[in-house]
Amino acid sequence: MNARPYGCEDLLRFYREMLRIRLFDLKAAELFAQGRMAGNIHTYVGQEAVAVGACQALEPGDLITATHRGHGHCLAKGGRADTMMAELFGKATGYCRGKGGSMHIADLGLGILGANGIVGAGIPIAAGSALASKIKGGREITLAFFGDGAANEGVFHEALNMAAAWRLPVIFLCENNRYGVSVSIDRVTNTADIADRAKGYGIPGVVVDGNDILAVCEAVAAAAGRARRGEGPTLLEAKTYRHRGHYEGDPQSYKPAAEIAAWKERDPLDRLKKTILAAHPDAAAALAGIAAAVEAEIAAAVRFAEDSPYPEPATVTSDVYAADNERSVAR
Amino acid sequence: MREITFSEATLEAMAEEMARDERVFVMGEDIARQGGIFGQFKGLPQQFGLDRVRDTPISETAIVGAGVGAALAGMRPVVDMHFADFITVCMDEVVNQMAKIRYMFGGQCTMPLVLRAPDGIIRSAAAQHSQSLEAWFVHVPGLKVVIPSNPADAKGLLKAAIRSDDPVLYFEHKALFPTKGPVPDGDHLTPIGKAAVVRPGRDLTVISYSMTMHRALEAAETLAGQGIDAEIIDLRTISPIDIDTIYASLAKTHRLLIVHEAVKAGGVGAEIAARVAEEAFDLLDAPIARIGAPFVPIPFSPALEKLVKTTAGDIVRAAQQLCR
């Protein structure tokens, strides 16, 4: 991990953002196990360097699409922990007023065009918002997060081809966490690197260590520069690993114990912490302060979610249409 | 009033809305250089440029997905599906994305996206290029579905669809493109969700839309000669259905016949019949009758294809039965 281009402040900021995701998802997992929230959650634990590294390389006006494993993407793009936690609880104060839940969190104001419950569905949406930027002549670019599983969906290929042909300002960031639910990528894919597929569309394909935040940040910054200069899309593949199951409660019987242990040795937060302390030995107090502040933020988020009301029954039929003027619709 | 073709009417709608609002753009297969397979986009690239009138790869999923993304990013896209049958290739984008995003996101966004879907039977196009699939989309909350039968509504509904903040499926029958009809000058809009009583009558109500509207009007002339005065309603929008106009008509006629080119089973007629039976049974003096295609794919041979098409004769016979 090369810390040179980044100052201590930058590294501490990266660490804080990664820790927000880690503690948010560990808390959500704990609450879920206690039966305190409905539905299902897919945690981002282990992959934090990808979302934070990517979003730190973007500008505030840039856009992202996220996935069913999207808590990390939304927090990294500036999402609020309390509003997100409230959504996980199905409360009226949540990002989607309780109508979306974990898999549909969006904040259009922050450029988060939504998590998505359908594998790969964010990829063409990202191409579309990039097309909008191109037509409007805007500076903003779009980054699509998706997993290794999505790279085997047809829409991945359609969208990459179209975005390449039109030189759209978009970054396709594949988070290869090695498993599509229970199936190892090696069993369903005949190539070592998904990034190789970029060749088929005439765009750069880059493999990056997804547990090294600085490597991710630099790769995304380069792709963003290319997109902003009108040179078109880049396919990035961040090699990473999810520490927990596909969903909470998944016993992960399909993963070898040694594999999990080896990847935990490469925990992205531990690595960044070591990098920071190696370069800035006096940062220990700052790191402790960050941990306390993030713990307080997450605790406050849980209190906010628990204290918030459930949605009013009448809201079940609102927001289907922008103009709710058709009484035959609500009947 | 001036008369133009259905195709020209849609072209006017596109040009007027693209001139009115620079966020409107259109993309699809063969629309820019070729002008659309029915000529319905001719001249638009010259007027608005190839950025806003885009030929796309043959990638329905990517095109409609990109329409969703562009709409989220503040544009008002129109996506041409080439043939309505091809929507089946991108059902995730239509059903899981464009229809639901506003609701799933708690009303944070609008989804001003129009899908143009040329449908219906024409010249032995066979089973994968002839379908009328409109009823599928009536079943999906979040979508609006319009389906004009004449040039005036073709223009008015397309303009209204483009101005709608909700996603609209715009079904346009391929055999209607060359047909002519009167279209008002100027900024002509047809409200979404409003049916039209196109022929008042007192003996029975015939509800239809799109191509079979024309068969219904022919049948009404025949029936008039036999002393049966049919009231004809053009639904124009099938989601939401203008149920009030239907009830007002039934209060007068007490007899109901619903006609469409689509397969009868699970069709729009089934939904209307169910609602009338549930909510307005007392208005009826006879069982509800429906006409639609038999439960078969559309066959190729002209000798077979004609057997699945609704004729004016079918409507006349059904009306005679109802009024016996």
List, in sequence order, every residue forming a beta bridge with B144; answer none if it has no partner.
B168
Q: Are residues B69 and B136 in the same domain?
A: yes
Which segments in chain A show pLDDT lower than 50? Answer: 325-331
Rounded-to-integer distance, Cα A322 and Cα A324, Å: 6
Of residues B101, B141, B164, nearest to A114 (C-beta): B101
Q: Are residues B13 and B49 in the same domain?
A: yes
CB contact under 8 A, A121 and B73: no
CB contact under 8 A, B69 and A320: no
* Contact status, residue B54 vs residue B26, Cβ threshold 8 Å: yes
- Cα torsion A169, A171, A172, A177 to 10°: value is -170
Contacts of A319 in chain B (CB under 8 A): 102-103, 106-107
Picking from A7, A126, A42, A80, the residue whose alpha carbon sits closest to that of residue B62 is A126
Find the domain containing B252 and state its range.
196-322
SS3 content of chain A, % helix, strand, coil (to 5): 50, 10, 40
- CATH number of the domain to which B229 belongs: 3.40.50.920
- Strand segments (E) across A31-91: 63-65
Q: Which residues of B are catalytic?
A: 129
Task: Report the pLDDT value the prediction gives residue A2, as an integer from 0 to 100.
Answer: 55
Rounded-to-integer distance, Cα B194 and Cα B239, Å: 10
Rounded-to-integer distance, Cα B259 and Cα B288, Å: 11
Task: Report the pLDDT value the prediction gives residue A324, as an integer from 0 to 100.
Answer: 57
Cα–Cα–Cα angle for A172, A174, A179, nearest 5°? 160
Domain tally, chain B? 2
Q: Are residues B132 and B16 in the same domain?
A: yes
Q: List per-block mean pLDDT (blocks of 10 residues) for chain B, which spans 324 residues.
A: 97 98 96 88 95 97 98 98 96 98 96 98 95 98 98 98 98 97 97 97 98 98 98 98 98 98 98 97 98 97 96 98 93
B107 belongs to a structural domain: yes
Q: Establish if B195 touches chain A: CB-CB under 8 angstroms.
A: no
CB contact under 8 A, A121 and B72: no
Structure tokens at A247: 């969903």
Contacts of B164 in chain A (CB under 8 A): 322-323
Q: Are residues B8 and B138 in the same domain?
A: yes
Contacts of B59 in chain A (CB under 8 A): 158-159, 161-162
Whether the model pTM is above 0.90: yes
Tell me the one-letter amino acid at B235: L
Residue A94, Cα to own-chain centre: how many angstroms?
18
Query: Strand B196-199 relative to strand B230-234: parallel, antiparallel, unpaired?
Result: antiparallel
List, in sequence order, every residue forming a beta bridge with B259; answer none if it has no partner.
B291
Residues 222-251 on B with a CB inside 8 Å of A are 239-243
Contacts of B62 in chain A (CB under 8 A): 124, 127, 155, 158-159, 161-162
User: Nearest-CA distance from B63 to chain A in Å?
Assistant: 8
Among B150, B182, B214, the domain-final residue is: B182
* Contact status, residue B152 vs residue B181, Cβ threshold 8 Å: yes
Task: Report the pLDDT value the prediction gives residue A323, as an integer from 0 to 100.
Answer: 77
User: Which of the 8 DSSP states describes residue B164?
Assistant: -
Task: Report the pLDDT value the prediction gives residue A5, as an integer from 0 to 100.
Answer: 78
Task: Report the pLDDT value the prediction gives residue A327, as an integer from 0 to 100.
Answer: 40
Residue B205, Cα to own-chain centre: how many angstroms?
20
Considering only alpha carbons, which residue of chain B is nearest residue A94?
B106
Picking from B64, B53, B113, the residue whose alpha carbon sits closest to that of residue B87 is B64
* Contact status, residue A294 vs residue A285, Cβ threshold 8 Å: no
Picking from A122, A111, A170, A112, the residue whose alpha carbon sits closest to that of residue A145 is A122
Q: Are residues B141 and B224 in the same domain?
A: no
Among B132, B153, B182, the domain-final residue is: B182
CB contact under 8 A, A323 and B68: no
Rounded-to-integer distance, Cα A284 and Cα A101, Å: 37
Chains A and B form CB pairs within 8 A to the count of: 161
Rounded-to-integer distance, Cα A283 and Cα A286, Å: 5
Q: Are residues B284 and B232 in the same domain?
A: yes
Fold type of domain A8-310: Rossmann fold (3.40.50)
Considering only alpha carbons, which residue of chain A is nearest residue B73?
A129
Q: Establish if B110 touches chain A: CB-CB under 8 angstroms.
A: yes
- Strand segments (E) across B165-297: 168-173, 180-182, 196-199, 204-208, 230-234, 237-239, 256-263, 289-293
Q: Establish if B88 touches chain A: CB-CB under 8 angstroms.
A: no
CB contact under 8 A, A326 and B68: no
Give B271-278 contacts, CB < 8 A, sequence gap 24+: B271/B135, B271/B138, B271/B241, B272/B207, B272/B241, B272/B246, B275/B241, B275/B243, B276/B246, B276/B247, B276/B250
- CATH number of the domain to which B14 belongs: 3.40.50.970
Contacts of A322 in chain B (CB under 8 A): 102, 110-111, 164-166
Q: Are residues B118 and B249 in the same domain?
A: no
Q: Are residues B135 and B108 in the same domain?
A: yes
End-to-end CA gap in chain A:
59
Q: Are residues B204 and B145 in the same domain?
A: no
Q: Are residues B120 and B220 in the same domain?
A: no
CB contact under 8 A, B69 and A107: no
Q: Are residues B123 and B175 in the same domain?
A: yes
Q: Establish if B52 touches chain A: CB-CB under 8 angstroms.
A: yes
CB contact under 8 A, A106 and B108: yes
Mean pLDDT for chain A overall: 95
* Contact status, residue B22 vs residue A137, Cβ threshold 8 Å: no
End-to-end CA gap in chain B:
39
Structure tokens at B140: 């999906």
Task: Report the pLDDT value the prediction gives residue A331, as an integer from 0 to 100.
Answer: 37
Contacts of A162 in chain B (CB under 8 A): 56-57, 59, 62-63, 66
Q: Establish if B137 touches chain A: CB-CB under 8 angstroms.
A: no
Rounded-to-integer distance, Cα A134 and Cα A228, Å: 10
pLDDT tens digits, one per residue of A250-292: 999 999 999 999 999 999 999 999 999 999 999 999 999 999 9
Contacts of A154 in chain B (CB under 8 A): 61
Rounded-to-integer distance, Cα B110 and Cα A319, Å: 9
Q: Are residues B29 and B162 in the same domain?
A: yes
SS3 content of chain B, % helix, strand, coil (to 5): 40, 20, 40
Of residues A124, A136, A328, nearest to B240 (C-beta): A328
Structure tokens at B183: 């279209």
Among B182, B204, B233, the domain-final residue is: B182
* Distances in whole angstroms, Cα of residue B282 to Cα of each of B254, B264, B323: 9, 24, 17
B171 belongs to a structural domain: yes
CB contact under 8 A, B72 and A128: yes
Residues 206-225 on B with a CB inside 8 Å of A are none
B191 belongs to a structural domain: no
Rounded-to-integer distance, Cα B93 and Cα B89, Å: 9
What is the dihedral sign for C-alpha A314, A317, A320, A326?
A: negative
Rounded-to-integer distance, Cα B295 and Cα B66, Å: 35
Q: Establish if B119 touches chain A: CB-CB under 8 angstroms.
A: no
* Contact status, residue B296 vs residue B231, Cβ threshold 8 Å: no
* Distances in whole angstroms, Cα of residue B127 to Cα of each of B94, B299, B311: 22, 6, 19
Q: Establish if B32 touches chain A: CB-CB under 8 angstroms.
A: no
Considering only alpha carbons, which residue of chain B is nearest residue A111?
B73
HSE, CB side, 13 Å, CA atoms: give it for residue A205.
Answer: 14
Q: In sequence order, which residues have a C-beta less than 8 Å from that of residue B235 and are 6 or more positions away?
A: B147, B195, B207, B208, B209, B241, B242, B268
* Contact status, residue B157 vs residue B148, Cβ threshold 8 Å: yes
Interface test with B, best of A112, A123, A129 (most B CBs within 10 A): A129
